Structure 1
């Protein structure tokens, strides 16, 4: 949501409690509902899960920030007080004044540590601001400032020593001074002896934190920008009280409130973004390798003690000062990934590793999906979810994301290349390979030969172009099934075999091409052995959770090619490591409906009482949305026929023609941009061919400038041209544009058709996946069988027939929900802020059924009209847009 769409609150806030959530603007009612729900899920803890839907344009990211960080500060402050209370109860038998002294000392100690850290971070912020001011002033001078301005720039200020303060002098005298030796001994035995200070020892570190994940780095950067807007109360108030009220402690004698010092009232959010080496590596010799797997292997190799030339950027004893400076600067400045990369370069310390030093003291950690969803990636980064909060944004595709990070594929052409590379390597180093190395390299060769043999046989066969592979039959070739795949994968990873072979072969090929002169381009060393490793790693997953598929590709290379792919059928096991560890998990998105799939397939064993769902309304007034179901059309004979774009009927030429004529009428009353989503690229091509062969295409061209999405084309170019036709129309062209797109295509997710770019969105038909594809057959069979077996396990009295029927129902529901999630994503491209308005037309009679309507977002379903013909829809559209004219 644009921040300009909300009103800033008065300068004096109402406190830091759940009543206001520290929102930087006056929140809408839907935002308050959303924040209360998030806060409630986090407060309940104990493995609670929230599935929350808030339409794009309702300030979802800022609401997530305000609710979660308000809760975090309140929780930390409460935990701080609980710790002191339990300490007092522990020593309840001691004299009151000794316990009072203990609590005062402990409270002061924790607060002093907190204040020292906050002062250190504030000092860094001030330094950063001063440096930025100097840089800005220098830029102005370089752009042609006056001599007087030149004199005003202190060129030496950057290198001046910082003001030094005597830390010992600030601490004052020993608080135990003046007490008797006996009393000092008692306090010492209670852990209250003289304090040995270490400015680098942060005992406030490693507290509860929030892990926030989203799909892309650009989405994470937008989230970090929003993170800079609000401010939150301190989690460590001095001398008692809680962060939510800002109150001090009770006075010892008269019950008066002692206010907290002003320095404690403010605490900046401490945040660190995490990413892969591919994004953060600053060693040019490593980062230039390009592929993530090659970068990972080379980085690991440079850390080994036997390596002569270690990476000079690795944190260590010699770079301890830079690492601490990196940590404190990161915690002080709310950086994004680009900031961390630049900071690491400026300090000559690796940002990938140095960022880990900031994890314990961070309150919120941002990271992309793969780093959160893969346990191996979390372990590599040192991420511990136990007792912490996990927020997954853009979570509508989290199940696909879990499957994606566990998927793998390899082609026959890649295996042939791998066999060739392995042969080159063995010819050079084979005699030097001893013991385990010789055995393991031989096993890698056997695996390559076995998989290649199966694929070559399948390629020559006259069977289907695609299908499911019997894993036992696949692994019988060359007796691969006798190889311990876990051990082989571990060997390839630990020995860096893939990187060593690929880098050696690349070196040989580059030398060969250089000797042949500049005209001979060096052959690229595709990281096929890393691709093989990923596939072997996938094979080690639980067999019942995944399937292996083959797909022939006769036209890809001379002689054709064939691919093996591994698909994870269920995200349950992979996701369970998150839900079983975290204190609470929030799944949030703009279009999460329908909700049932998340509970059924991400955490099926979780009790219903532990799952909270919320579907927020929109912030727009109801008059800014017009939703219609175009369900029927007039036939040439004067009768009526339903619009039904089912697989059996979608080729009906009369229906395609009538769809085009309806679109001509709609374009005549809708201003600016119209976006149409069709079920597939193949059907889009079929519809366009039919319209071009009739007067429909020319009539559409007279109403709008026409654009279409293509499967292999650039979406950026199409979107740029479409936007220009609407915002900067040519004098000889119609006003506005029509964009023909595909549900699930490039335009259906992440593209913003706000304001004039999307005054009307049409979804044609229900884009069900191909139920006859091997992948969807395997998925529905898996859902059917696991649902039935789970039902019998829960209630042995359920008959086999009833369990089977329930399994079939669950499979149909899963299949239909996949379709509706794609529809909801397409619908969400319009209406992007409070002042926006648009019409949404669902072209298919099936959208009128209660079952389908229940799977639409609440804000759409509540505004839907009934099933209508074109006449009623046109009347409604005309009235809607006539009311929007200025």
Structure 2
């Protein structure tokens, strides 16, 4: 806490490492909020003392003097200096009194509620009719052709945002606390409520419309970009009331019924009580007002702002939310994967299917409304179609191709620099910046979605199994999902990350074109042809995450990266802070040890198995039957001596499948099943909770002779990060092999080459080693979650004996390198025997 306080006070860039269970969240809260309260007090005192000093000088000037002209001039100068300072102090005092006003609003609401219980009981019916009304309204959002026409750049005024453009006299200092997921921020809110500062701080959780929207007909759109577009579109509409005789012509064109609503009351609720996103949504529903805009309007008065990664790390999102980092503090929690996260959110992927669908939609849309478009709109739509045609040529395809057409075998995977790619595809002839500006101002994504919804289902689709044109394929893709035609079924072949974009492929295309605005040295484009045109992939890879961190380092007073395992810290210093333009003397690091006693964890590097076969799970040996049999014997031995839960991590889903099938075939699985109930990590995220519940249930309620469960998991999978295998859920963590990424991958080779050229000569190799060991450290970190927890770590591969120095500090102190498997079993048996004696 002291180190954090000093870091914020001195405006430094801090790297803080604190293992899980050491009270990281609460330490961050207390250290940062104590500094914030002190800083605000100091600002007020400084203003007051400067004004008092000027007042003294003015008083001295009032004394009788012969040189009245000089005195008068001095008084005017002092008053000119004093006025802006006094205005600033008044604004500060007004800001302080605002919180009291908000408290009174909440109190008066509570008082009113107790008096009008009857009214509140009747409220749900009103709410029901409101939501019904909304359905009626929103179902007509795309009901008229007028709504499908592209908007002119001049008419694009986002009046719905209602942002105050005037610069306020006083801006309070804010701490932006950022974490990866919505659930991690919810946990943080619970910790905040326990802190000693819970009554003194205004906390505002910022989230997307997807999480905050209470308009059911908008929320059902599911895709974030569509929700955003529809929300803004709704608010531009004005309610029109027509005479009864015009009833047939009546077009319902109303804004969202939840905007504005009683936003002042919701803001008062947000700023006076610490609440998470779900609680604010509930308050919004109770008050019939929009939680999304309520939280955004609260942002200016908030002191601690909770935001997900995307909202801070993506500049356009940051700007659209009105997040200003100048002079403020940014704390990024769970920052161990920050470099990957920035790369991920600024990388993009499109498929041949996306390109064909998008071209089909655009050409049909343009054909229908061309007569109503301005010349500028026709020009830009032509440019967009030109880009799509040219991108298809990378797969040897044309706009008449079908997604199921096979790609010519002469087309091979290739990697391009941005300028090479643009010259090859000839899209350097198009001004991408102006084209993207047109897509944004004309609301093309929203209009095209409306067109698809309105006309897609009304056209009959020929179900003959013949080769079809791109347009027919497009019509088939937007047909109801329950049809089982050949074309609809083929959608299942699209990669998972593009699933939700098949009906609105323009979003993926725009995201890819946005990436082409990057600096030429910072990114690469990878063309990966599939077996068919539809499966072909074009990827943009960001190689320099620091390019998107430069503004943050420059503007923020202080940036703190915190995590349970931040090693190797040199990676953050070299690849993020220094490359983003930070001075070396502005960077500080802090690392603290684990709170668990040394005797509560033992780690074993296992060189060979029970019959002496060496464990080396490299790429060549992985499918060696002798090695797999030895692994089976080792697991069987460990299951016999380890109580409760064991989690075993494999380098990939594919290898986990190979091992499981081999052990099942050789009968090892049935032998292990006598002692442990066996579970496997599912590939679908939706099934994870169910598997975890079953795993935990069979540990808590073991059926004799079983004494627990064994969970087969994958490094970097859904169970290797963010989950707690505390106490009996993880008495032993086993890691099989070293999860190195595929060295032959052109993407990895390009990244390593880039680091060698731009960071230092061996940076590429260090990155390769680190990406493996960081993943292992995350798996190990799942085991011990609090001070009284105890666990064992077993690393099955002889290569780990050279990796001890890159393991977490708290693991290093208990590592034993075992040449024989017998000594491993002896160590673990003694460890659990001592724990049993202690508990008895």
1:724 equivalenced with 2:697 (yes/no): yes
Match of 2:716 among 738, 744, 749: 744
Contact 1:545-1:569 within 8 A present in 2 as well: yes
Residues 565 and 106 (structure 1), Cα distance of their counterparts in 2 relative to 1, 3 Å cut: closer
CA deviation after TM superposition for structure 1 residue 293, in Å: 1.3
Structure 2 partner of 1:803: none
1:881 equivalenced with 2:825 (yes/no): no
CA deviation after TM superposition for structure 1 residue 652, in Å: 3.5
CA deviation after TM superposition for structure 1 residue 547, in Å: 1.2
Separation (CA, whole Å) in 1 of partners of 2:715 and 2:264: 49
Separation (CA, whole Å) in 1 of partners of 2:368 and 2:718: 47
CA deviation after TM superposition for structure 1 residue 706, in Å: 1.7
More displaced stretch, 204-213 vs 757-766: 204-213
Residues 204 and 702 (structure 1), Cα distance of their counterparts in 2 relative to 1, 3 Å cut: farther
More displaced stretch, 210-219 vs 431-440: 431-440
Contact 1:502-1:529 within 8 A present in 2 as well: no
The DSSP-based 3-state class of the residue aligned with 2:782 is coil
Structure 1 partner of 2:495: none
1:334 equivalenced with 2:274 (yes/no): yes
Match of 2:230 among 298, 302, 305: 298
Residues 548 and 514 (structure 1), Cα distance of their counterparts in 2 relative to 1, 3 Å cut: closer
CA deviation after TM superposition for structure 1 residue 464, in Å: 7.4
1:865 equivalenced with 2:816 (yes/no): yes
CA deviation after TM superposition for structure 1 residue 224, in Å: 0.9
Residues 765 and 127 (structure 1), Cα distance of their counterparts in 2 relative to 1, 3 Å cut: farther
1:313-365 Cα distance to aligned partner (Å, 9 max, x none): 5767xx6xx23222222101222222333333444433323322211211100
Structure 2 partner of 1:530: 507
Match of 1:219 among 171, 184, 190: 184
Match of 1:589 among 563, 569, 589: 563
Residues 408 and 111 (structure 1), Cα distance of their counterparts in 2 relative to 1, 3 Å cut: closer
Contact 2:238-2:255 within 8 A present in 1 as well: no
Contact 2:87-2:169 within 8 A present in 1 as well: no
CA deviation after TM superposition for structure 1 residue 466, in Å: 4.1
CA deviation after TM superposition for structure 1 residue 484, in Å: 0.5
Contact 2:51-2:86 within 8 A present in 1 as well: no
CA deviation after TM superposition for structure 1 residue 867, in Å: 4.1
Query: What does residue range 149-228 of structure 1 map to in structure 2 within 5 Å?
Result: 155=117, 206-228=171-193
Structure 1 residue ranges without an equivalent (≥5): 1-34, 135-152, 160-200, 234-266, 788-805
Separation (CA, whole Å) in 1 of partners of 2:811 and 2:480: 61
Separation (CA, whole Å) in 2 of partners of 1:90 and 1:270: 33
Structure 1 partner of 2:302: 362
Query: What does residue range 474-873 of structure 1 map to in structure 2 within 5 Å?
Result: 474-476=421-423, 479-512=426-459, 526-554=503-531, 561-604=535-578, 605-633=581-609, 635=611, 642-712=614-684, 714-731=687-704, 734-787=706-759, 806-807=760-761, 809-849=762-802, 852-873=803-824
Structure 1 partner of 2:72: none
Residues 466 and 446 (structure 1), Cα distance of their counterparts in 2 relative to 1, 3 Å cut: same
Separation (CA, whole Å) in 1 of partners of 2:7 and 2:692: 40
Structure 2 partner of 1:453: 393
Separation (CA, whole Å) in 1 of partners of 2:291 and 2:392: 41
CA deviation after TM superposition for structure 1 residue 413, in Å: 1.0
The DSSP-based 3-state class of the residue aligned with 2:524 is strand
1:44 equivalenced with 2:10 (yes/no): yes
1:90 equivalenced with 2:34 (yes/no): no
Separation (CA, whole Å) in 2 of partners of 1:344 and 1:515: 47
CA deviation after TM superposition for structure 1 residue 772, in Å: 0.7
CA deviation after TM superposition for structure 1 residue 571, in Å: 0.4
Separation (CA, whole Å) in 2 of partners of 1:448 and 1:541: 19
Structure 1 partner of 2:204: 272
The DSSP-based 3-state class of the residue aligned with 1:543 is coil
Separation (CA, whole Å) in 2 of partners of 1:445 and 1:107: 54
CA deviation after TM superposition for structure 1 residue 842, in Å: 1.5
Structure 2 residue ranges without an equivalent (≥5): 63-74, 122-165, 241-252, 399-405, 464-478, 489-499
The DSSP-based 3-state class of the residue aligned with 2:171 is coil
RMSD: 3.4
Residues 315 and 715 (structure 1), Cα distance of their counterparts in 2 relative to 1, 3 Å cut: closer
Structure 1 partner of 2:128: none
| TM-score under structure 1 length normalisation | 0.76
Aligned residues: 723
1:428 equivalenced with 2:375 (yes/no): no
1:288 equivalenced with 2:223 (yes/no): no
Residues 875 and 499 (structure 1), Cα distance of their counterparts in 2 relative to 1, 3 Å cut: same
| TM-score under structure 2 length normalisation | 0.80
Structure 2 partner of 1:172: none
Separation (CA, whole Å) in 1 of partners of 2:410 and 2:89: 77
Separation (CA, whole Å) in 2 of partners of 1:471 and 1:545: 9
Separation (CA, whole Å) in 2 of partners of 1:336 and 1:297: 25
1:341-391 Cα distance to aligned partner (Å, 9 max, x none): 333344443332332221121110011110110010010011100110001
Match of 2:255 among 294, 303, 311: 311
The DSSP-based 3-state class of the residue aligned with 2:265 is helix
Contact 2:407-2:529 within 8 A present in 1 as well: no
The DSSP-based 3-state class of the residue aligned with 2:555 is coil
